[in-house]
Amino acid sequence: MARQVTLNRRLINTAVAWSLGLLIFFPILWTILTSFKTEAEAISLQPSLFGFDWTLENYQEVNARSNYPRFFANSVIIAVGSTLLGLCIAVPAAWAMAFVPSNRTRGILMWMLSTKMLPPVGVLIPIYLIFREFGLLDSRIGLVFVLMMVNLPIIIWMLFTYFREIPGEILEAARMDGANMKSEILYVLTPMAVPGIASTMLLCVILAWNEAFWTLVLTTTQAAPLTQFIASFSSPEGLFYAKLSAASTMAIAPVLILGWFSQKQLVRGLTFGAVK
Amino acid sequence: MMSPAVILLLLWMIVPLAMTLYFSFLRYNLLMPGTEAFDGIQNYRYFLTDPAFLEALGNTLMLVGGVLCITVIGGTLLALLLDQPMFGQGIVRLLFIAPFFVMPTVSALVWKNMFMNPTNGLFAFVAKVFGGTPIDWLGHYPLPSIILIVAWQWLPFATLILLTALQSLDSEQIEAAEMDGANAFSRFFHIVVPHLARAATVVILIQTIFLLSIFAEILVTTNGGPGNASTNIPFLVYAQSLLQFDVGVGSAGGIVAVVLANIVAIFLMRMVGKNLDL
């Protein structure tokens, strides 16, 4: 029996939920709108929601003046690079734990989770000094490595929860049909593992894109990603609301769109498979 | 096959941590190279007796506790709302989760400049429309303002997870209770709340991990100020080591941060162990 709901109640729910949703979304909407205003309108004491002269000049100026494409490229390289590198290391590990579990597997997984609890400031100075020693400060390769390490426990955990759901019987069936180890992995397990790996990758790119501790303390200009570029707007002389909004809109748009597509995987990934 | 991952994580944890521990017993300032000397527990004494430490500790707890309260309670209410039948549910969901994907420096600066700025922020405008005086949010209420910004970022996460958990609740169970004459109140507290406990535990665990290390939001909004009013432990350690170049005291602070995080972690892992069977 489906629960009966009156149209009235449905309308009230809709009104309340939409108002709250728009309220929560408003700061983002406001940023997007401000990015199309002139600087004068952006700081106007009589702000207008839609009734202003729409302009694209902020986007043009941010792109032309501040080397924006370079920061954007750094963000892409660091987020994608650290994710791919992390997957290379995490896939075999998660694979082994899911398909050949030992009685230490659970302990190792919990230990990996606990490494996430190590506050970054606890290792800030050594990492900073090591990076300085090896000329890795403000280098993309250094950041790729650090972000890979930061996200590695999450990647392994997430992959593990996906791999664990691949039924073991299917392997037996393949073996009965005469499949050897190589074809087992290639033709049976890999196709079943691909969706899990893809979701993990998506989540990990989002996390790396938005990471804002290491990217802020280890970079200045050369390897600086968008987090650092946006942070540079915090100095009073860089205070241009409309340009800040344009830069922000471009910085959040890719991840916002990726994120909207990956809500389901997000829940699963960030809760280490505990909530699905 | 898992050894590369295990070895890397071990190295990542142990080598830098051992170095931090070692530095924490040295008199070591980057501005005076070559003067490093063993200094016993002086760094710890300095760090722990610095009034800034207690303030930062209090701020850290306020920040974590405040954001957890807002997001868990708010998230539960929003999840209950979103679970109701309505028009355009999918789109509303997108609106609700969007803040989670905004990078911390963006959300902090947008809130700081376009909302909380006392002259041309939107809050000031609203205050003036209603005849009030604009408030210098970050100047007078730095910590609550930062709590607000961070809670805005994490509310979607709590909502989404609690909503997912709510949707896995068997509706027949509720109907059975309804038929047995349980009112909405007792249905909520005896069926929904226990069902959400597990998801709420996960929310608290994950958020605490991230909230203990809040950094970017403080750096770009208040820089820890005014005074130390919005400095938390990570920011204090950062300021000590990379702004004052005092590696010794900074390292001692880092170790203190690790110990504190461990105390919290032990509690959390206990809680998780009970509620989460892996």
**Do A157 and A102 belong to one domain?**
yes
**Do A40 and A94 belong to one domain?**
no
Q: Residue B246 in 3-state DSSP?
A: strand
Q: Does A1 fall in a domain?
A: no
> Rounded mean pLDDT of A233-257?
83
Q: Does A28 fall in a domain?
A: yes
> Rounded mean pLDDT of B103-120?
88
CB A184 within 8 A of CB A177: no
CB A226 within 8 A of CB A219: no
- Chain A CB contacts of B119 under 8 Å are 45
**Do A72 and A133 belong to one domain?**
yes
* pLDDT greater than 80 at residue A171: no
Question: Rounded to an integer, what distance in angstroms lies between the CA atom of residue B257 and that of residue B240?
Answer: 13
Q: Does A218 touch chain B (CB under 8 A)?
A: no
**pLDDT for B26-52, tens place per residue?**
888 877 777 777 887 888 988 898 888
Q: Does A135 fall in a domain?
A: yes
Counting the structural domains of chain A, the total is: 2
Q: What is the pLDDT of residue B192?
A: 83
Confidence at A266, pLDDT banded by 50, 70, 90: confident
Q: Does A2 fall in a domain?
A: no
Q: What is the pLDDT of residue A61?
A: 82
CA B248 to chain centre: 27
- Residue A159 belongs to what H/E stretch? helix A140-163
Confidence at B145, pLDDT banded by 50, 70, 90: very high
**pLDDT for A185-231, tens place per residue?**
777 777 888 888 888 898 889 889 999 899 998 888 888 888 888 88
Q: Does A118 touch chain B (CB under 8 A)?
A: yes
Q: What is the pLDDT of residue A4?
A: 60
**Backbone CA torsion sign across A204, A205, A210, A216:** positive
* pLDDT greater than 60 at residue A174: yes
Q: What is the pLDDT of residue B277?
A: 52
**pLDDT for A84-124, tens place per residue?**
999 999 988 888 888 888 888 888 888 887 788 788 888 88
**Do A127 and A204 belong to one domain?**
yes
Q: Could you write out the DSSP letters of every residue in B96-138? A: HHGGGGS-HHHHHHIIIIIIS-TTTSHHHHHHHHTT-----HH
Q: What is the pLDDT of residue A208?
A: 92
CA A139 to chain centre: 20
* pLDDT greater than 90 at residue B150: yes
In the numeric block, the tokens 């999450």 are attached to A154
Q: What is the pLDDT of residue A1?
A: 38
Of A59, A74, A99, at which residue does a domain stop?
A: A59
CB contact under 8 A, B9 and A115: yes
Q: What is the pLDDT of residue B198?
A: 81
> Rounded mean pLDDT of B141-152?
94
**Do A187 and A97 belong to one domain?**
yes
Q: Does A212 fall in a domain?
A: yes
Domain span at residue A189 reads 66-270
CB B246 within 8 A of CB B50: no
**Do A20 and A117 belong to one domain?**
no
Q: The tokens of B122 are what? A: 């939107």
Crossing angle of helices B89-97 and A7-34, in 10° steps, is 40
Q: What is the pLDDT of residue A104?
A: 84
Nearest residue, CB atoms, B103 vs list A3, A24, A226: A226
Query: Which alpha helices (DSSP H) does B34-100 contain, by range?
Result: 42-49, 51-82, 89-97
More confident residue, B277 or B216: B216
One-letter amino acid of A102: S
**Do A245 and A113 belong to one domain?**
yes
Q: Does A126 fall in a domain?
A: yes
One-letter amino acid of B200: A
Q: The tokens of B45 are what? A: 């004494």
Q: Does A276 fall in a domain?
A: no
**Do A85 and A11 belong to one domain?**
no
CB B111 within 8 A of CB A26: no
Question: Rounded to an integer, what distance in angstroms lies between the CA atom of residue B47 and that of residue B166?
Answer: 45
- Percent of chain A at pLDDT > 90 equals 20
Short-list B123, B164, B109, B101, CA closest to A25: B101
Q: Does A44 fall in a domain?
A: yes
In the numeric block, the tokens 């993990």 are attached to A200
The CA distance from B249 to the nearest CA of chain A, in Å, is 11
More confident residue, A187 or A155: A155
**pLDDT for A48-72, tens place per residue?**
777 777 888 888 888 877 788 889 9
Q: Does B252 touch chain A (CB under 8 A)?
A: no
Q: What is the pLDDT of residue B169?
A: 80
The CA distance from B204 to the nearest CA of chain A, in Å, is 10
**Do A16 and A137 belong to one domain?**
no
Of A16, A38, A59, at which residue does a domain stop?
A: A59
Low-confidence winner among A116-120, A150-154, A235-239, B221-225 (lowest mean pLDDT)? A235-239
Question: Rounded to an integer, what distance in angstroms lies between the CA atom of residue A261 and that of residue A80?
Answer: 17
Q: Does A109 touch chain B (CB under 8 A)?
A: yes
Q: Does A21 touch chain B (CB under 8 A)?
A: yes
Of A19, A40, A59, at which residue does a domain stop?
A: A59
B226-248 CB burial, b ≥16 within 10 A, e <16:
eebbbbbbbbbbbbbbbeeebbb
**Do A48 and A165 belong to one domain?**
no
Question: Rounded to an integer, what distance in angstroms lies between the CA atom of residue B127 and that of residue A264?
Answer: 39
Q: What is the pLDDT of residue A81?
A: 95
* pLDDT greater than 60 at residue B58: yes
User: Which of B47, B107, B110 to probe the A interface (max A CBs under 10 A)?
Assistant: B110
Q: What is the pLDDT of residue B143?
A: 93
CB contact under 8 A, B101 and A128: no
Domains of chain B: 45-275 (1.10.3720.10)
Q: Mean pLDDT score of chain A, rounded to an integer?
A: 84
**pLDDT for B244-271, tens place per residue?**
888 888 899 999 999 988 888 888 777 7
**Do A128 and A228 belong to one domain?**
yes
**Do A28 and A107 belong to one domain?**
no
> Rounded mean pLDDT of B100-127?
87
CATH code: domain of residue A145: 1.10.3720.10
More confident residue, B134 or B232: B232
Q: Which residue of A has its CA nearest to B121?
A: A43
CB B151 within 8 A of CB B143: no
Neighbours of A12 (CB within 10 A): 13
Question: Rounded to an integer, what distance in angstroms lies between the CA atom of residue B8 and that of residue A173?
Answer: 36
- Chain B CB contacts of A89 under 8 Å are 4-5, 8
> Rounded mean pLDDT of B220-241?
88
